[in-house]
Chains A and B, each alone.
Chain A
Amino acid sequence: MPEFKPVLLANVGKPESYTRKVYEQTGGYQALRKVLKTLSPKDVQEQTKSSGLRGRGGAGFPTGLKWTFLPKDHPGPIYFCLNADESEPGTFNNRILMEDDPHQVLEGLIISCFATNSAAAYFYMRCEYPLAYKRICQAVAECYEAGYLGKNILGSPYSLDIHVHRGAGAYICGEETGLIESLEGKRAWPRIKPPFPAVEGAFRKPTVVNNVETVACVKQIFDRGVDWFKSIGIPPDPNNPRDAGSYGPKLYCLSGHINKPGCYEAPLGITTTELIEKFGGGIWKGRKAKAAIPGGISMGLLKASEFHCKLDFNDPGKFGCLGLGTAAVVVMDETVRMVDFLLNSCRFFSHESCGQCTPCREGTSWATKMMTRIKHGKGRLKDLDLLLEIAENMGIMPGTTICGLADGAAWPMKNCIKKFRDELEIYIKSTNPSGWMETAAVPALQLLDIH
């Protein structure tokens, strides 16, 4: 197989890569011209569907299929929301694309809007990305100047406006219906589905929500073709009827105890070991790895002995992880105490729970209180079972919450307690020699800084 060359990151690192001029020098906006001249929206939907492209934001839902859920012959307007609320701990690939190659994102977005007959696109970006915000706003202005946006794009009958909308520091806005509520000016409380956004979304109109990297892939598909896209990655697992395959290039974010942290592009299905060794230059300080998060903190944990796990949409599940998520790999070396990891994870989710569903609001909060108590030497063995009980009873999977935030909060708890129970028990016994066996209720420690 010929060596894989980066496609999504091809422009990153070039001088002024964020300008339209530089983008057009390497064939930028040719895909858009071709699409508008030769294809119908339905063609674009069909080709995207047959490419096997799956959403890059975390859930991995097939993109073309999502588009076909829009009602047929709808009088409109249909809205497109670009999810640039990237906030999953460990994840920064969308930031790199928006800062260093904003036009690739916009070209993919315009093609995706054309495919879905969208009248307007809302580019929902988290507010902690000031440089990306500046670059995207500049790039949008350049698109209007060049006739890639506005009325009758490139002389075609299609018209589109893109509005950049900034978030205000809430992880839950990355959940698609939370994003829609936030866009509408409300608290970002996810909606009960159905109706799905494709039927009733932003401003009660049919709406598509896609991730930044997803639309960048759309642009590449219409530049290079469906066959090119399908030649990269991993076909569906014959033993898993629910696996739709993992095709195309993927941006992997590598951080933590690694020699060369960064965002790297590889075919879907690279193993964790390959990513760490080939791209990351190995574990820092000559140490050994202990564990890694496979795809953002909500996906759970891989032990070092599980690093042969392929980072595609199917394989992490075989190791008990929730999935590929955002493909953000965070590596922990042998010095990390899992009690610290789990407290950090619980603290994040209790801070970011939107508070709408009681099992999530209370579950994440109590998990943080218990982990804090354990960390400070007041833990009991019983607490591990209580933590598991919380984890198993909050989320979409047990059916107790509206959105998946609680499943994401539960997964690190389940994985960590299952895969590192011995270590957690030793920690509890050694830090609380007189009370670890206690089973009667104990008071929570004062917590000052979780919310």
Chain B
Amino acid sequence: MADKPSILTDEMIAEIKAFLPRYPSKQAVTLPALHIVNEKLRYVPLRAVVEIAQLLELHPSQVQDTLTFYGYFKQDAPAGRCRLWVCRSISCALRGGDELLDHLAHSLGVKPGETTADGRITLEYAECLGACEHAPCVLANEKLIPSVSHQQADEFVQTVK
């Protein structure tokens, strides 16, 4: 039986392997590998978990166990092109973080954790983003948006392609 095509590309495999010399155990490359796959695919499907496990000489359940512990990795479907993390911890909550999250959920028509039908945005709540001087704040993929009003949030959402 022919092998199914690998979900990990040669590029991903090379990137993962480049981490191996940094650690005395292969298992320590689990989080770096999950990040590499997640960056490329915007999620880590079970097939990728199995292939990562093969690369790191682990049982797939070990990788899956680690993956499911952390809130960052999606598994069922790719995240939207922009993952919008709205902080709900105390400093942001005092300046309207919860209301901002509700507003975005309403205007985007999704609940936290869900992706808009056009695949543009995944709305997420976050615990403290560590940018409390900019409360309420939002992390849009790699961009921190400080002191966001509802209007600014709507305007930002429009700019996401």
Name A's B-contacting residues (CB within 8 A).
77, 86-92, 94-95, 120, 126-131, 161, 163, 165-171, 182-188, 203, 205, 253-257, 261-263, 293, 297, 328, 330, 332, 336, 340-341, 344-345, 347-348, 351-352, 354, 449
Interface: B27 (CB within 8 A): yes
Given contacts A165-B32, A344-B89, 13 further A-B contacts (CB under 8 A): A89-B89, A90-B89, A95-B131, A128-B139, A166-B32, A166-B35, A167-B70, A169-B71, A170-B71, A184-B27, A184-B28, A187-B69, A332-B94
Q: List 23 interface pairs A-B (beta carbons < 8 Å), by A numbering.
A: A89-B89, A90-B89, A90-B91, A92-B131, A95-B130, A163-B22, A166-B31, A168-B34, A169-B126, A170-B69, A171-B127, A187-B66, A187-B69, A188-B69, A203-B24, A205-B24, A255-B94, A256-B90, A256-B135, A257-B95, A261-B91, A336-B94, A344-B93
Among A94, A129, A169, A336, find the residue whose CB has the most chain B CB atoms closer than 10 A. A169
Do A90 and B90 have beta carbons less than 8 Å apart? yes
Name B's A-contacting residues (CB within 8 A).
22-25, 27-32, 34-35, 56, 62, 65-66, 69-73, 85, 88-91, 93-95, 112, 125-135, 139, 141-144
Do A168 and B31 have beta carbons less than 8 Å apart? yes
- Distance in Å from the Cβ of A395 to the closest Cβ of chain B? 20
Given contacts A169-B72, A336-B94, A344-B93, contact A261 B27 (CB under 8 A): no
Given contacts A168-B35, A170-B69, contact A348 B89 (CB under 8 A): yes
Contacting residues, chain B, for A166 (C-beta < 8 A) = 31-32, 35
The complex places the Cα of A167 from the Cα of B127 at a distance, in Å, of 14
Q: Which of A89, A127, A341 contacts B127 (CB 8 A)?
A: A89
Q: What is the number of contacts between chain A and chain B, taking CB atoms within 8 Å?
A: 147
Do B31 and A87 have beta carbons less than 8 Å apart? no
Do A187 and B65 have beta carbons less than 8 Å apart? yes
User: Closest 9 interchain pairs by CB?
Assistant: A185-B30, A168-B70, A255-B132, A187-B69, A130-B142, A185-B27, A168-B72, A255-B91, A169-B72
Contacting residues, chain A, for B95 (C-beta < 8 A) = 256-257
Given contacts A89-B91, A166-B35, A297-B90, contact A185 B29 (CB under 8 A): yes
Do B71 and A203 have beta carbons less than 8 Å apart? no
Q: Which of B91, B126, B133 contacts A128 (CB 8 A)?
A: B126
Given contacts A92-B132, A184-B25, contact A127 B69 (CB under 8 A): no
The complex places the Cα of A131 from the Cα of B34 at a distance, in Å, of 20
Contacting residues, chain A, for B94 (C-beta < 8 A) = 255-257, 330, 332, 336
The complex places the Cα of A90 from the Cα of B88 at a distance, in Å, of 11
The complex places the Cα of A161 from the Cα of B19 at a distance, in Å, of 13
The complex places the Cα of A120 from the Cα of B143 at a distance, in Å, of 31
The complex places the Cα of A251 from the Cα of B73 at a distance, in Å, of 32
Contacting residues, chain A, for B25 (C-beta < 8 A) = 184-185, 203
The complex places the Cα of A167 from the Cα of B129 at a distance, in Å, of 13
The complex places the Cα of A90 from the Cα of B28 at a distance, in Å, of 30
Contacting residues, chain A, for B128 (C-beta < 8 A) = 87-91, 348
Given contacts A166-B32, A168-B35, A168-B71, contact A348 B130 (CB under 8 A): no
The complex places the Cα of A23 from the Cα of B134 at a distance, in Å, of 26
The complex places the Cα of A186 from the Cα of B82 at a distance, in Å, of 28
- Distance in Å from the Cβ of A190 to the closest Cβ of chain B? 13
The complex places the Cα of A322 from the Cα of B141 at a distance, in Å, of 35
